[in-house]
Amino acid sequence: MSTSTAATEADATAAGGCAGDVPAGWSAPASQAARILLVAAAALVDDDGRVLVAQRPPGKSMAGLWEFPGGKLREGETPEAALVRELAEELGIDISAACLAPFAFASHRYPEFHLLMPLYLCRRWRGTPAPREGQLLAWVRPLRLADYPMPPADVPLVAMLRDYL
C-alpha cells in the first residue's frame, strides 16, 4: 500500500467510513474548493441491447475519447431538461424526460474542475441518432464498452452498465 493510499484510507476511516470500502482512485478532498461542473449523460439502449457512445471530435478537450451523449446544464436547468435539449442538438432525436431513468452518477476531480455527472438510461426516443457536431457514433454491446477509451469519469459507469444490461 502506498503512502498516499494509506493517508486516503485513514481519511476515509476518520470520516466514518471503512478503510476497506475506499474505491480505487479515491483521494481525500483537496484543501482548495474546486469549481463544480454538472453534466448530464444518457446511455441510449437500442432494441438489440447496444449502447450509443460518441467520440469527442478534434478541437474539443479529450478529443478522440468516447463518451455517453449529453452535456452541461444551463443555469436553472434540470439534468433531464438538459438531456432533452442536448440529445436534440447533438443527435437530432426527441426524447421525453419521462423516458429517462436515473441509473448512476460519476464524481471525478479533473485538474480544473470537479465533475458531477448523473447517467440516465433511455430506451425510447423519436428519430434516428445522427452526429450533428462532428462526432463519430457507435452502437456498442455492453461487454465491449471497455474497448472504447473514455474520459476517467465515464470509466466506472461502464462496469455498472455491463453488469446491469
33-65: pLDDT as tens digits: 789 999 999 999 999 999 999 999 998 999 999
pLDDT reading at 123 higher than 90: yes
pLDDT of residue 34: 83
CA distance 69 to 50: 14
3-35: pLDDT as tens digits: 333 333 344 434 444 544 545 555 545 556 789
CA distance 111 to 109: 7
CA distance 95 to 79: 13
Q: Is 59 exposed, middle or buried (0-12, 13-18, 19+ CB in 10 A)?
A: exposed
Give percent helix, percent strand, percent coil of the chain, each to the nearest 5: 30, 30, 45
pTM over 0.95: no
